[in-house]
Amino acid sequence: MGELPRHVAVIMDGNGRWAQRRLLPRSAGHSAGLKRMIALSEYFFHRGVEVVTLYALSQENLSRSQEELAALFALFRTYFSGNVERLKKNDLRLEVIGELSLLPEDIQTLIGEGRERTKEGKKGTLVLAIAYGARQDVVRAVNEAVKAGKEVTMESFSALLSTGAYPPLDLLIRTGREKRLSNFLLYEAAYAELYFSDKMFPDFSDADAERALEDYMTRDRRYGKVKAEEG
Ligand code: IPE
Ligand code: IPE
Ligand code: MG
């Protein structure tokens, strides 16, 4: 068995369909998704993963209905008001990536407070991607490099991305049956191992997460090289 991934990311997809199947409003799916998100991230940290990056809202998702966005924003408010203490108690650090200026101001303030209050966290980092878009992030990083008037290397460019401070992405999980990246961590995923689950996110259990970790540990990450001879 190989090593555990240091950095796991999850595209938490399928909340809406989870709700529709139960004849519930989409917001009920998001609410169930948030509950699952909290427990799932704790499971990954408990297993020894250092960084967990969760796709909570894409920049493109901001064009959903006012009703759905209001429900999502209400959940973010609940999360950031109620869960920061829990992260702190678990010695975890909270980070948020994405175009936060597109969010309501009170949520921006809550995010700032959450980051500040957990900045000493040493057991792991929870990175929430909110109003995030990978292409937008790449373009922003390019413009920063242009402004600095410096040619970039692969290393210096990675550092300009909003994930620049974290270890390389090892495992990228997507729930909800779709097999696409939907503008998440495009550059970072170059050599990440991909894992797709047909489960809708609220149904993606700790046992499912364990299966993804175990599957990852059987993978042979060659990075373009030829497999080393065994024995
Ligand atoms: C993912 O679930 C959560 C967000 C995008 C906010 P969806 O809302 O995309 O759920 P489905 O894909 O419609 O089932
Ligand atoms: C990706 O899911 C975004 C999140 C899970 C937060 P979407 O549901 O928005 O992706 P598409 O539209 O199916 O590509
Ligand atoms: Mg979806």
Tell me: pLDDT of 229 over 70: no
Query: What number is the average pLDDT over the span 151-168?
Result: 97
Tokens 């797709």 sit on residue: 196
Q: What is the CATH number of the domain that holds 70?
A: 3.40.1180.10
Q: What is the pTM of this model?
A: 0.97
What residues are labeled active site? Answer: 13, 61
Q: How far is residue 129's CA from residue 49's CA, in Å, rounded to a whole number?
A: 18
- What is the signed CA dihedral for 93, 99, 104, 107, rounded to 10 degrees? 0
User: In terms of DSSP bridges, do strands 92-97 and 7-11 run parallel, antiparallel, or are they unpaired?
Assistant: unpaired
Tell me: pLDDT of 228 over 80: no
- Partnered with residue 125 across adjacent β-strands are 51, 93
Which ligand is nearest the CA of 55, by number? 2
Inside any domain, residue 78: yes
17 CB under 6 A from ligand 1?
yes
The total number of structural domains in the chain stands at: 1
CA 122 – ligand 2 centroid, Å: 31
Instruction: Work out the angle at residue 96's Cα, subtended by the Cα atoms of residues 29 and 48, and round it to the nearest 5 degrees.
Output: 85
Domain that holds residue 37: 7-219
Inside any domain, residue 127: yes
User: Best mutation site among 10, 12, 17 for ligand 1, i.e. most ligand atoms within 8 A of its Cβ?
Assistant: 17
Please state at what angle helix 66-82 crosses helix 26-46, rounded to 10 degrees: 30
Ligand 2 atom 14 nearest Cα: 182
Q: How far is residue 89's CA from residue 173's CA, in Å, rounded to a whole number?
A: 27
Which ligand is nearest the CA of 30, by number? 1
- With bands split at pLDDT 50, 70 and 90, how would you rate the model's confidence at 139? very high
CA 15 – ligand 1 centroid, Å: 5
Inside any domain, residue 49: yes
Q: How far is residue 58's CA from residue 61's CA, in Å, rounded to a whole number?
A: 5
